Every structure is written in C-alpha cells, then in structure tokens.
Amino acid sequence: MHDVASGWLMTSLDPSPLMVALVQAATSAPVFLFALPAGALADLVSRRKLLIIVMAILAIVTAFLASLVFSDRITPVGLLLFTLMSGTGAAFVTPAWQAIVPQLVPRSDLASAIALNSMGINISRAIGPALAGAIIASIGIGWPYLINAASFLVVIAALLWWKPPPTKNSDLPAERFWSAMRTGLRYVRASGSMHSALLRALSFFPFVSAFWALLPLVARTELQGGPQLYGSILTAVGIGAVLGAALLPRLARKYSSDRLVFIGTLGSALVLAALALVKRTDVAIIACLTAGFCWITVLSRLNIAAQLALPDWVRARGLSIFIIIFFGAMTFGSILWGQVANYIGISLTLLVAATGALLAAVLSWRFKLLQGKGLDHTPSGYWPQPLVASDISLDRGPVMVTVEYRIDIADTADFLAAMNSLKASRERHGAFAWGLFEDVAEPGRMIEYFIEDSWLSHLRHHQRVSVQDREIQQRVVKFHRGGKQPLVTHLLSPEPGQATPDKSMPGRGSIQ
C-alpha cells in the first residue's frame, strides 16, 4: 500500500517520468549503500533485537509522513526524502530478515521456506495495491501511510513472540565491525557458487527494473487509467507471484534452477514487449500476471542459490552482497529507464529493456547456479587446536600457515586441481594470500602457505571449518605419501623488542 501510494502521489506532485522513476530509486538506493554494513551488523548482534529496533524507527518515520500528507504539506522533494529514510530502514532490515529464515526451518525445507516467504510477500503485494487503490480513491492518499505505520507494530509483536533457537556461543571475542565487513567480502569473492548467483542476478534485475519504474506511467499515460487501475495491475502482479510460488516446488522437480531463471527472464521480456506494443487494459493485466509469475520464479531461485552457498556465520553479510546487486540494479535501472523514457518515450524504452534482458539471459547461461541441496556448511570440528609454546596475543599477526605435502610425480596434475578448490576454501575463511611451491631439490615435495590477518582470525578459521571444507581437504590429503598427515607449521610475525624464549617453536599440528 505504501509503495502504491508513493508512486501515485508523485504522479500528482510531479508527473515527469524521471521524478516518478526516482521514487523507485529512492526506495532502493539506501539498500544499495548500506546493505553491507547492515549485513555485518546482523552477523554480530542479535538479529531479532536489530529487527525490532529498526521496525520501531520505521513506524515513527511513516507516521510522520502520513501527517504531512494529511495536512497537504508534502512536496516532491519531501516525498523523496521520506522514501530515502524508509529505504535506509529497509537496508538494515533486509539482510537480517533473510538471514533468519534458516533458523525457522530444517535445512531440508529451506528452499520451500524461501518460496513460502516470497509467497507471503506477494500475497501482500496482491492485496495491498487493490486496497491502496480503493482507499486512495475513497478516503484519501494519506491513509495507506497511516495504516503502514500501524502495521509495523504487528511485525514487532511477531518478533517479540518468536523465540530463536539457541546458538552455540564461541569462546572467542566478537568480530570487529570493519573486520566483519572485510571478511564477508572475502568469502563472497572466493565463493564460486555466489559468483554464479550474483552474475545471474546482474543479467536480470537491471532490465526488469524498467517494468517497476515505469508501471505507474503505463497505467496513467499509456492506459489512461486512475489509481484503481494502477492498484488492479499491481494486484495482478501479486496474484501471478502467488501462483508462481505455489507451483515452484513442482516446477523445481522438473526443471533445474538455471532453466527456471532463463524461462522467467524470457517471460519478463515478453511482458515488457506486450506493455510497449498493446495499449489495452485486459492485455496489461494478463501481462502483469505473467510478470508476477516470472518475477517470483527468478527471485526465489536466485535467493535459494545464495542462501545455500553461505554458512550461518557469514550469511547476513553474504546475502547483503546479493541485496546490493538487487537494489543497485533496481536503483540505477530505474534512473536509467526513467531518463531514457524522457527522450525516446515509454513504449520504446520498454522494448529496449526487453531486448537487453534476452541478450543478458543468453550470455549468462554458462554461469550455473547451485544445484540440489547445496553444500554442507555445518562446522565439522575437523581441525584440532594448534600447538603453541606459550600464550599468544589474539590480535598478534599476521599469521602464516605452511603445509608440507609429499606426492607422487604422476599425481601432480590431479593434486593441483584439488589444491585449486582448497585455495578457494582458505580464501573464503579469510586468507588474504595463498601460494603453492615445489622443492627443486626434491620433486614431489610441495609446500602450501596461506596468510591470515591475526591469530584470532586463524582461531576463528578453526571453529568455522565446515563439512564441505573437510571434504575438500580430504581430497587433497589422499595424494600425500609422506606419513599419515601433512606437516603443518604456524608462523607469526615477530614483535619488535620482544625476546622469544629458546624453547618456543612454531605451532605444529595435523592438517590445517
């Protein structure tokens, strides 16, 4: 209701395509700017408490906006500013909100839970626009904002009622804020599964943003309709999305995520073309039903791929990168398509966006999404605590870990292929440098090294080694011929002016 009211209100305050598109941009730009800090915060503090606090702030902001609209003191710039504030609140809500989904259901039900969550959002998308259109036409445009302000109280009550499952507390200090953001970026950069999800998102959202940005103008200008028509076509989008969510489990058993994303992109391109070429209300409603179906299909499959690619300790940060791509594409896409429509018209702009979506879908096909149930990120306890000669300051660093392998020369190619996966595993857990060298005097003697920021970072790495990481390391260790386990050495940068006891020596242990 809030989104419909803002889009329609701007068409009354300033009906230029750019200003109407800026409403969508103002909604999504703060999420693009603040999602990563918000994701880091959601991984460091109680996600439930964070959600409650931000929801309370949003209730106050929305109530104040409602008072300005009721008193006819809202301006185009004021509406954009309040939209920016609401978007900032959404930036701090969204990563935490998505990250709690795996806390609500068993892992085996995660894909269905994400689809169900999307269905809930789109049921509101189906009901809200119709209610907004009726309310705006009958009692005024300020009421959707007031009702939205009250609805935050219901969400807060639900969060107060929900009791999160207990989590195992670490005996290590909490991560620092900036370090947590850097760790999240490193994890995503080294995750091939996240790369595919993000690239497929970049091939979809920038072009489909034209649909959302220009839809109010399609209703008012192209179809010559009022708020009831705008509410109706948005309701059609919501109904299509609900139908899509209901059918997704059956479709997912028949088609891969890659095919579903491609089909959804193709359908979205056809919707843009239909809205551009056919100026009929019934066609627009059918197109919007299709748009909702395609939107939920693509969004849910990409979201599932991102969720399954991330362990819980970095989930909010990793999802924040996905959210940045999503909202960044929607923000810049909205500005771009609004500006293009100023020069070449709405219909031609929609056709250009449709063509771009088709081309991007074809070019991105080779980036395959995570299939099946994904990877097991459960902590494995595979690494023992490193052996040390004396207590080590947690912030001392950097730390270099070396691992010595002895392999048969005939296995070199297979060993190097396995080490590529191990390199990515090290980097996902915070290694900022990695290398592999062979002894020129003794062929088959390989020395791996990786470097982490501090001793504390390395101890966290010990705690976070997952079942997936263990499997990667076991594939490497099977090539080792020099004993039961490769020799591991921990090396710390010496501290100036501090004498090292004679008995001290690098920490050694089993495979790290």
**319 compared with 501, residue with greater pLDDT:** 319
Whole-number percent of the chain with pLDDT over 90: 30
Average pLDDT on 149-171 reads: 85
195: CB partners within 8 A, 6+ apart = 367
pLDDT, residue 505, reads 41
Cα–Cα distances in Å, from 491 out to 113, 306, 455? 45, 35, 10
CA 33 to chain centre: 13
Return d(Cα 200, Cα 369) in angstroms, integer. Answer: 8
Residue 172, sorted as left (phi over 0), alpha (psi -120 to 50) or beta, turns out to be beta
CB count within 10 Å of CB 371 equals 12
Residue 454 has pLDDT above 80, yes or no: yes
Q: Do residues 389 and 497 make contact, with C-beta atoms less than 8 angstroms apart?
A: no
Which tokens is 62 given?
């929305």
pLDDT, residue 173, reads 75
Q: Do residues 352 and 34 make contact, with C-beta atoms less than 8 angstroms apart?
A: no
Residue 285 has pLDDT above 70, yes or no: yes
Mapping DSSP to helix (H, G, I), strand (E, B) and coil, where does residue 404 land?
strand
Return d(Cα 337, Cα 214) in angstroms, integer. Answer: 8
DSSP state of 219: I
Q: Is the peptide bond before 398 cis (omega within 30 degrees of 0)?
A: yes
pLDDT, residue 374, reads 62
Residue 503 has pLDDT above 70, yes or no: no
**420 compared with 131, residue with greater pLDDT:** 420
Return d(Cα 467, Cα 377) in angstroms, integer. Answer: 6
Average pLDDT of the chain to the nearest whole number = 85
281: CB partners within 8 A, 6+ apart = 223, 225, 229
Average pLDDT on 45-56 reads: 91
Residues 397, 398, 400: CA angle, nearest 5 degrees: 125
Phi first, then psi: give them for residue 255, nearest 5 degrees: -125, 150
399-443 residue pLDDT tens? 999 999 999 999 999 999 999 999 999 999 989 999 999 999 998
pLDDT, residue 148, reads 92
CA-wise closest residue to 265 among 198, 200, 309, 336: 200
pLDDT, residue 417, reads 93
The amino acid at 90? A
- Could you identify the residue written with the tokens 């100023």? 342
Quote the crossing angle between the two packed helices 192-202 and 177-189, to the nearest 10°: 80
Average pLDDT on 168-197 reads: 83
Return d(Cα 306, Cα 317) in angstroms, integer. Answer: 11
**499 compared with 487, residue with greater pLDDT:** 487
Structural domains of the chain ordered from first start: 2-162+180-363 (1.20.1250.20), 399-509 (3.30.70.100)
Return d(Cα 55, Cα 53) in angstroms, integer. Answer: 6
Return d(Cα 249, Cα 246) in angstroms, integer. Answer: 7
Q: Do residues 386 and 402 make contact, with C-beta atoms less than 8 angstroms apart?
A: no
Q: Is the dihedral of CA 80, 83, 88, 91 positive or negative?
A: negative
215-239 residue pLDDT tens? 888 888 888 777 778 778 878 887 8
Q: Label residues 266-294 b or e (16+ Cβ within 10 Å = b).
A: bbbbbbbbbbbeeeeeeebbbbbbbbbbb
**116 compared with 158, residue with greater pLDDT:** 158
52-111 residue pLDDT tens? 999 999 999 999 999 999 998 988 888 999 989 998 898 888 888 888 888 888 877 777
- Could you identify the residue written with the tokens 């497929």? 200
Poorest-pLDDT segment among 176-190, 231-245, 497-511: 497-511
Long-range contacts, stretch 146-152, CB < 8 angstroms, 24+ apart: 146/63, 146/66, 146/70, 147/1, 148/1, 148/2, 148/62, 148/66, 149/59, 149/60, 149/62, 149/63, 149/66, 150/59, 152/55, 152/56, 152/58, 152/59, 152/62
Whole-number percent of the chain with pLDDT over 70: 93
Q: Do residues 204 and 261 make contact, with C-beta atoms less than 8 angstroms apart?
A: yes
Record the pTM. Answer: 0.77
pLDDT, residue 170, reads 66
Return d(Cα 411, Cα 371) in angstroms, integer. Answer: 29
pLDDT, residue 99, reads 84
Residues 181, 187, 193: CA angle, nearest 5 degrees: 135
Which tokens is 225 given?
């309709």
Return d(Cα 154, Cα 145) in angstroms, integer. Answer: 15
Average pLDDT on 169-191 reads: 83
Q: Longest C-alpha distance within the chain, in Å?
A: 87
The amino acid at 159? L
286-335 residue pLDDT tens? 999 999 899 888 988 888 888 888 888 888 888 889 888 887 887 788 78
Return d(Cα 44, Cα 22) in angstroms, integer. Answer: 33
pLDDT band, very low/low/confident/very high, at 263 (cuts 50, 70, 90): very high
**197 compared with 501, residue with greater pLDDT:** 197
**212 compared with 167, residue with greater pLDDT:** 212
CA-wise closest residue to 374 among 320, 470, 310: 310
Return d(Cα 319, Cα 367) in angstroms, integer. Answer: 19
pLDDT band, very low/low/confident/very high, at 372 (cuts 50, 70, 90): very low
